[in-house]
Amino acid sequence: MKCWVDLHIHSCLSPCAEDDMTPNNIVNMALLKGLDMIAVTDHNSARNAEAIIEAGRKAGIEVVPGMELCTTEEVHLICLFPQLTPLLEFEEIVYEHLPPFRNREDIFGTQIIMDAEDQPCGRESRLLSGASSLDIETAIGLVRNLGGVVIPAHVNRESYSMLNTLGVIPEDYHFKFLEHSKNCILPVFLEKHPELEGYQWICSSDAHFLSQILEREVSVEIRRKSCEALLEFFR
């Protein structure tokens, strides 16, 4: 079946996202835009994942448990999981590898933890926007051992991109999919990087504002609308 997706969205937990990126606002905007499945991938944390999954369940939209990890090389990886539990296990490991810096809301922005009714439950005190001490290879192994999938984020960008940071997408990592930004014209990008033509590509919004969430622009063909079926597609 065809499912319309946006698999890279930030909630108000991410310090760079707007405070109105609450669980129900995200879910309802995705519904208004005709999406079937979304992933909320906050920076180095999953503290809002359960609330957004519950809001999605009530509204009839599938929410994929996810996180955008920043590795020690300052490469962003989209990490998607079949259920909430392995994501929370991964979060525990990530938190052990975050630098011991407190968030300065006046500099970096708020990091709001919400419940499924859009009520604030607290604020994450640790700074989430920096690099963890997990290297790329270790992070990939952890996610895959937990049944998840790793997709290098916004490969076309100059910052936090695996291609820009390493100069290559190492074949040893065995990626099937790479992500490109909405403003990337993929044929033009591949003319400059023909070595990447063998990969499959997924476009995501990397939304930090409600208006940035994708319309019906990106679809996947999967056997049913479920997190497990989606991850099978990406493996």
* CA–CA distance, 194 with 16 (Å, rounded to integer): 33
Collapsed DSSP state (helix, strand, coil) of residue 104:
coil
Mean pLDDT of 49-73: 97
pLDDT at 146: 98
Q: Give 176-219 pLDDT, tens digit per residue.
A: 999 999 999 999 999 999 999 999 999 999 999 999 999 999 99
Domains of the chain with CATH codes: 2-234 (3.20.20.140)
Q: Give 115-154 pLDDT, tens digit per residue.
A: 999 999 999 999 999 999 999 999 999 999 999 999 999 9
* CA–CA distance, 207 with 214 (Å, rounded to integer): 8
* CA–CA distance, 126 with 45 (Å, rounded to integer): 10
- What is the residue type of 109? G
pLDDT at 35: 98
Per DSSP, which regions of the chain are E strands? 2-9, 37-40, 62-70, 76-80, 112-114, 120-123, 149-152, 177-181, 200-204, 219-221
Single pTM value for the model: 0.96
